[in-house]
Amino acid sequence: MINLKINGKSIQAEPGKTILQVAKEHDVHVPTLCYHKDLSPTGNCRMCVVEVKGGRFLQAACVTPIWEGMEIETENEKVMKDRKLTLELMLANHPVDCMICDAAGKCELQDLAYEYQAQIPAWGTKGTRYPVNSDPNPFIRVDMNKCILCRRCVLACEEIQGRDVWGVAKRGFDEIIVAGAGVTMLEARCESCGQCVAFCPTGALSNKMNYGMARAHQVKKVATICSYCGVGCQFDLLVKNNKVIGVSSNPDAPVNGMALCVKGRYAYDYIHHPERLVKPRVRKYLLEGKRKSDIRDSIAEGRKPKVGLSNIESPWDWVEVEWDKALDIVAEKFAETRMKFGADSLGFLTSAKCLNEENYLMNKLARQVVGTNNIDHCARL
């Protein structure tokens, strides 16, 4: 164990840890911006500086390892001033539109500027240097004017997604994050997983599908499980006014952490699609007491595409009915089939998209109520 002092308090810690890690373990707050626990530390924003006794310069806590006898100050005047200056330098190159920025309320730069009461310096550029919404990716909105060059996106893509889409180009004032060799994200082989967006601390990368739809405090987050593949990623559904308006990473997700794929993160808009079935439907002939065998001709006709539910003429047309009606028809028909042809004349296809509880019930319905083992699902397909 290593002995050291943080803000005058003696502490023991395991060797090999960074100042930031030890500070966190002892509930000492050190602000960070480029650092993220899931990514390799790079130490390039200098937001986390602390003073180490005997050192000539302030040290970045996220990349400086501890040593025996180290004495650290995390909140003295020098440190606070330096951090504020760091923020002012970032703000000097940042548009002043927090008011309408999608990230406001969850922007780490905004939070820190507030904490340190940092303002845009009088000499700041304030302007817009780059095209806004500059990439055609349908899911990801890019506005490099808001970029603070923390490189989290670069690391998220490289280390989590293993894709290397983002990189840094040019130097000094012109330094900028680019996709590939300055091409579009998709051309740089982006898989639209949205990892870079999830890790971006500012409004430089945001989601197009819900851009401008809600402030962070206006959404309810509901932790749930992805309904696409068997990996079983967990994420939060973002809900506003009883509508799903987005998906965000849930850092505590057991399988996937912050990671999601394009389907899990962005293919949710089917939930409120206008084609959703919202009322039970039965074929007209069922309401007329007719048998299917009597209307075979109309069925052949009816299979040709027909728009909507208007003009209900053919016995094979759909009619919307109340639940009671539909359920009675189903039960009546199933019972009749069973009586006439036996339990094994019924078949049940349950669903690999539905809940365990629902699959259990389909199995119970087939085996208990009807008495057949004719139950399967699309595991084979």
Partner 1 sequence: MSNSMDDIANFAEAFFIIGSNTTEQHPVFGTMIRRAVRKRGAKLIVADPRKIDITEIATLHLRHRPGTDIALLNGLMYIILEKGMEDKAFIEERTEGFEEFKQTVMQYPPEKAAEITNVPVEKLYETAEILASCKPTAVLWAMGITQHIVGVRNVMDLANLQMLLGNMGKPGGGVNPLRGQNNVQGACDMGGLPNVYPAYQPVTSEEARDKFAKAWGATTEAKVGLTVTEMMPGILEGKIKSLYILGEDPIMSDPDTKHIRHCLEELDFLVLQEIFPSETSVYADVLLPGVTFAEKTGTFTNTERRVQLVRQAIPTQGDAKPDWWITSEIAKRLMERISDRVRKEAPYAGWGYKNTSEIMAEINTVTTSYGGITHARLEAGERLQWPCPTFDHPGTPILHTKQFTRGKGKFMPIDHVPPAEKPDDDFPMIMSTGRVLYHWHGGQMTRRAKGIMQVYGEALVEVNPDDATTLGLNGKNVVRITSRRGSIEAQAWVTDRVPPGMVYANFHFPEASANELTHASLDPVSKIPEYKVTAVKVEPV
Q: How far is the CB of 125 from ligand FES (least distance, A)?
A: 22
Q: Which two tokens stand for residue 30?
A: 């050190």
Q: Which residue stretch of 12-20, 113-121, 176-184, 237-245 sits at the interface with partner 1 (rule: CB under 8 A)?
A: 237-245
Report whether 338 contacts 364 (CB < 8 A).
no
Greatest extent of the chain over all pairs of C-alpha atoms, in Å: 96
**Closest to 354 (Cα-Cα) out of 245, 247, 227:** 227
**Closest to 156 (Cα-Cα) out of 284, 42, 323:** 42
Rounded Cα gap, residues 347 and 362, in angstroms: 11
Q: Which of residues 220-259 bind ligand SF4 (CB under 6 A)?
A: 226, 228-229, 231-233, 256
Q: How far is the CB of 110 from ligand SF4 (least distance, A)?
A: 12
Q: Which of residues 7-36 bind partner 1 (CB under 8 A)?
A: none
User: What's phi and psi for 330, nearest 5 deg?
Assistant: -60, -50
Residue 211 in contact with partner 1, rule: CB under 8 A:
no
Rounded Cα gap, residues 176 and 171, in angstroms: 8
Which of 11, 261, 295, 366 binds ligand SF4 (CB under 6 A)? It is 261
Rounded Cα gap, residues 50 and 62, in angstroms: 10
355 binds, among ligand FES, ligand SF4, partner 1, none (CB under 5 to 8 A by kind): partner 1
Residue 103 in contact with ligand FES, rule: CB under 6 A:
no
Residue 35 in contact with ligand FES, rule: CB under 6 A:
yes
Q: Which two tokens stand for residue 194?
A: 């949205």
Which of 263, 306, 325, 367 binds ligand SF4 (CB under 6 A)? It is 263
Residue closer to ligand SF4, measured from CB, 192 or 210: 192
Q: Which of residues 159-178 bind partner 1 (CB under 8 A)?
A: 159-162
Q: How far is the CB of 198 from ligand SF4 (least distance, A)?
A: 8
Measured from the Cβ of residue 223, the count of other Cβ atoms closer than 10 Å reads 11
Q: Which residue stretch of 5-13, 93-101, 200-208, 342-350 sits at the interface with ligand SF4 (rule: CB under 6 A)?
A: 200-208
Dihedral sign, CA of 86, 89, 94, 96? positive
Q: Which of residues 19-58 bind ligand SF4 (CB under 6 A)?
A: none
Rounded Cα gap, residues 190 and 256, in angstroms: 19
272 binds, among partner 1, ligand FES, ligand SF4, none (CB under 5 to 8 A by kind): partner 1
> What's the one-letter identity of residue 379?
A
Which of 79, 150, 226, 317 binds partner 1 (CB under 8 A)? It is 226
Say which residues have a Cβ less than 8 Å from residue 140's Cβ, sequence separation at least 6. 185, 190, 192, 194, 196, 197, 205, 206, 207, 208
Q: Classify 332 as helix, strand or coil.
A: helix
Residue closer to partner 1, measured from CB, 7 or 363: 363
277 binds, among ligand FES, ligand SF4, partner 1, none (CB under 5 to 8 A by kind): partner 1
Binding residues vs ligand SF4 (CB under 6 A): 140, 147-153, 156-157, 161, 163, 165-166, 177, 185, 190-196, 199-202, 204-205, 226, 228-229, 231-233, 256, 260-261, 263-264
